[in-house]
């Protein structure tokens, strides 16, 4: 894992403050059936960190008390946590929208054969990683055989109604650059994805989300090993846009790790930069059940330039 010191030294990134909280992003653990080079949480098949039922219940209690509109589930492969279906079912009972950040291949793994149907039955929004519409580019990031498995999984989702014009089942795809460069314009790339996937595989989806690679964890370590870290950080800073500050995701979101600790965003979580809600060194979700964090200052460092460079980047795609 990348040493956080290069990012945590004094930063000239401008101060930002929290708006009304509407999204709770929860990392259910680092266990995953893949080990992608752009993964900022170093997830993989050998990771054992998984959120417990007790902490899952804290998540549900927080949603009940704070009028959360959207639960955003991440991992690893969040579906590999044994509490995944319990959490989804309980939250959907409450009328809260749920996003499953799915790597697609998990839908084909032994033991998960009914997962796609479960997601459809619960009306879960699927945000699926597909870093390119070409086999070579996908497999250079995610491993041999991943592209064909992803296409098969997408075809399964389409059959269930996901991504179809006459369906309420939303299917979004996620693009990550294959190296140390910024994503292209989201709208133009979306057109190319829709055309290529339709013509070659008869696939449809709703939106393409472009996300900038953060110079942390596995991707950051790759940059360091190739001597590209400083150049990439300079690229992010050179493309900073002040207009993106008003809509960065940390203003309306908090991130919860598998142990229930709270951070301003998923990237701060990986850099061990906890949300500051009081004089506590660590803040747990259960500590915030009766607290209002509106207006609190958000913890920042140089990696925040990744969310404000160019067209901007968030878990919901480009900001502009």
At 167-215, the pLDDT tens digits run: 999 999 998 887 899 999 998 999 999 999 999 999 999 999 998 988 8
Residue 207 lies in a domain: yes
- Asked if residue 140 has pLDDT above 70, the reply is no
> Is the omega angle on the peptide bond into residue 28 within 30 degrees of 0, that is, cis?
no
CATH of the domain at 19: 3.20.20
The percent of residues above 90 in pLDDT, for the chain, comes to 71
- Listed in sequence order, the DSSP H helices in the chain are 5-8, 53-66, 84-93, 115-122, 135-142, 146-159, 186-201, 217-225, 229-238, 266-270, 305-308
Residue 191's CB is within 10 A of a number of other CB atoms, namely 12
- Quote the CA–CA distance of 271 and 255 in Å, as a whole number: 13
Residue 11 lies in a domain: yes
Q: What phi and psi values does residue 296 have, to the nearest 5 degrees?
A: -65, 145
**Structural domain range at position 262:** 5-308
Residue 255 lies in a domain: yes
pLDDT tens digits, 261-278: 999 998 899 888 989 865
pLDDT tens digits, 141-157: 666 678 899 999 999 99
* Residue 100 host element (H or E): strand 97-102
Residue 318 lies in a domain: no
- Quote the CA–CA distance of 249 and 244 in Å, as a whole number: 10
Residue 193 lies in a domain: yes
pLDDT tens digits, 56-84: 999 999 999 999 999 999 998 999 999 99
pTM: 0.91
Residue 320 lies in a domain: no
Residue 74 lies in a domain: yes
Number of domains in the chain: 1
- The residue assigned the tokens 């639960």 is 71
Residue 317 lies in a domain: no
Please state the length of the chain: 320
């Amino acid at each position: 894992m990348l040493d956080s010191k290069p990012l945590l030294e004094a930063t000239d990134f401008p101060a930002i403050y929290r708006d009304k909280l509407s999204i709770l992003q929860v990392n259910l653990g680092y266990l995953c059936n893949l080990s992608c080079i752009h993964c900022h949480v170093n997830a993989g098949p050998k990771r054992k960190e998984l959120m417990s039922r007790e902490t899952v219940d804290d998540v549900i209690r927080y949603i009940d008390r704070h009028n959360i509109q959207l639960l955003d589930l991440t991992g690893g492969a969040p579906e590999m946590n044994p509490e995944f279906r319990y959490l989804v079912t309980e939250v959907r009972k409450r009328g809260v929208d749920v996003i499953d950040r799915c790597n697609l291949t998990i839908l084909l793994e032994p033991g998960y054969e009914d997962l796609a149907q479960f997601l459809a039955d619960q009306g879960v929004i699927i945000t699926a990683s597909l870093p390119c519409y070409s086999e070579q580019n996908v497999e250079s990031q995610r491993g041999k055989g991943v592209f064909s498995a992803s296409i098969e999984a997408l075809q399964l989702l389409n059959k269930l109604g996901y991504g179809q014009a006459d369906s309420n089942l939303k299917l979004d795809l996620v693009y990550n650059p294959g190296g140390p460069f910024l994503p292209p314009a989201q709208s133009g790339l979306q057109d190319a994805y829709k055309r290529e996937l339709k013509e070659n595989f008869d696939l449809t989806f709703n939106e393409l989300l472009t996300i900038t690679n953060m110079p942390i964890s596995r991707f950051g370590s790759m940059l360091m090993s190739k001597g590209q870290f400083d150049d990439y950080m300079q690229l992010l800073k050179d493309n900073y846009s002040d207009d993106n500050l008003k809509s960065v995701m940390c203003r309306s979101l908090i991130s919860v790790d598998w142990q229930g600790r709270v951070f301003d965003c998923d990237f701060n979580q990986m850099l061990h930069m906890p949300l500051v809600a009081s004089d506590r060194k660590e803040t747990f979700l259960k500590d915030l059940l009766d607290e209002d964090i509106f207006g609190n200052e958000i913890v920042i460092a140089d990696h925040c330039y990744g969310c404000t460079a160019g067209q901007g980047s968030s878990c919901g795609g480009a900001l502009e």
